[in-house]
Structure 1
Amino acid sequence: MNTAALVIYLAVMAITPGPNNLILAASGLNHGFRRTVPSLFGIATGIALQAAIIIVFMGQLAGLLGSIKPLLTVAGCSYLLYLAWQIQRSSVLDDEDGSSKPMSFMGGIWFQWLNPKTWMISLNMGMVFLPQSMPASQAALLFFVVVFATMMPCISVWAGAGVALQRLLNTPRRMRCFNTAMALTLAVTALWLLLANLPASPTLPAGLNA
């Protein structure tokens, strides 16, 4: 296995904008880095665990995914819209009523099974980087370690960026503007993923599906 190429691929995918990173940036700003740590570990563990499971069951999952992809897409994008709504509701650091909470460790793990970007990353790894001669169990363990070790520092950058913005966004009005912008970005991302991953309707004229 070309480990260097895999690490570069993972780093690029982890550092570029996506649902996980938008959530972490908003969490870092609204809750601070310390309270975002469980989210970081949950997301990194969830991605690594999904990659390992896909490696073990690569043949079976490839066929199954085709039939359940629309359901996963709708569920994942619906959850993203819910998270966008939650972010928009956050108006000040550490809401006094405690109604706004960062994503939990288990929430970070489970969310990866609804995240279309994570499915794409994991399946691409299995198809491109999986050594044919390596036993599945050994490959799964190796992928888990490499994915977790690469993802964790990359996604931490986004949580840290959110924390860094606290000094700039130090008024309720600025916080509301930022949270609204992040919520809209996440909502647009969800709708874009929904349109990109759902099959085109066969009843529409061909020109409208282009």
Structure 2
Amino acid sequence: MSLSMILPMSAFALAASISPGPVNLVCLSCGTRYPIARGLVFVTGATLGFIALFVAVGLGLYSVLALMPGLDVALRWGGIAFLLYLSFRLVRDDGRLPEGESGTAPGFMTGALMQWLNPKAWLASASGIGAYVSGHDLGQLTVFAALYLPICWLSLGSWVYAGAFLRQYLDRPALLTTFNRVLAALLAASCAYLLLD
């Protein structure tokens, strides 16, 4: 594959991965509340979950969904329920930072599941494959997925590091509670996209 295709694929992957969305907001929240390593576990799950979704869409999953109209509705409502659950957890947070390794950070499976329920991930997969993969060219799909993997991981990881940077300014429970509620509102607002789609 030529460099003239690899560069646009990489630019698309970067724009889709680093732009704000539900998964990025959870990464930011992980960075403000937990050790960086715990946030990166979530990032790894989210990245591998996205790559699995991306490849599945490239192999025809999106076409199967079109043939089963009830399934896309179920995925939409599942995504809304999951995002509202995460929003609820942020709203209920008391703003006290966990000491050391205590506290329950979103883990690997949460990250992977979140991508499958994330409308941004479905849209990025379908539009990226539509733009850069000819027909069902497995070679192009493999190259695109191989490019996406490190770009997605580094992009999501940068949100965890941004949260860790903000942590020093949010060391008072009242400030962190406010920050968490803003993130919760943004996550809940992202459900509007699912309802309007």
Contact 2:46 2:108 survives alignment (8 Å): yes
Equivalent residue for 1:145?
A: 146
Where do residues 57-206 of structure 1 align in structure 2 (5 Å cutoff)? 57=60, 60-61=63-64, 63-64=66-67, 66-90=69-93, 91-94=95-98, 100-132=103-135, 134=137, 136=138, 138-190=139-191, 192-197=192-197
Q: Do the aligned partners of residues 22 and 65 (structure 1) sit closer, same or farther apart at CA in structure 2, a change above 3 Å counting?
A: farther
Question: Deviation string for 1:157-191 (max 9, x for gaps)?
Answer: 1111110011101111111111111111111112x
TM-score (norm 1): 0.83
Distance 2:151 2:126 in 1: 17
- Structure 1, unaligned stretches of length 5 or more? 198-210
Q: Deviations over 1:96-125 (max 9, x none)?
A: 9x5x52221122112211111101011112
Larger mean CA deviation between 87-96 and 149-158 belongs to 87-96
Q: Is the 8 A contact 1:54 1:61 kept in 2?
A: no
Alignment of 1:37-56 (within 5 A): 37-56=40-59
TM-score scaled by structure 2?
0.88
**Structure 2 vs 1, CA of residues 95 and 80 (structure 1 numbering), >3 Å: closer, same or farther?**
farther
Q: Give CA deviations for 1:130-167 in whole Å, capped at 9, x if unaligned.
A: 13473x3x344323211111111111111111100111
Contact 2:65 2:71 in 1 (8 A): no
Structure with bigger helix share is 2
CA separation of 1:143 and 1:49: change in aligned 2, threshold 3 A? farther
Deviation at 1:67, TM superposition (A): 4.4
4+ residue segments displaced more than 6 Å = none
RMSD: 2.2
* More deviation, 77-86/49-58: 49-58
Identical amino acids, percent of aligned pairs: 23
Deviation at 1:29, TM superposition (A): 0.4
Report the count of equivalent residues.
Answer: 193
Check 1:120–1:59 CA distance in 2 against 1; reply closer, same or farther (3 A cut): closer
Change in CA separation of 1:108 and 1:3 when aligned onto 2, cut-off 3 Å: same
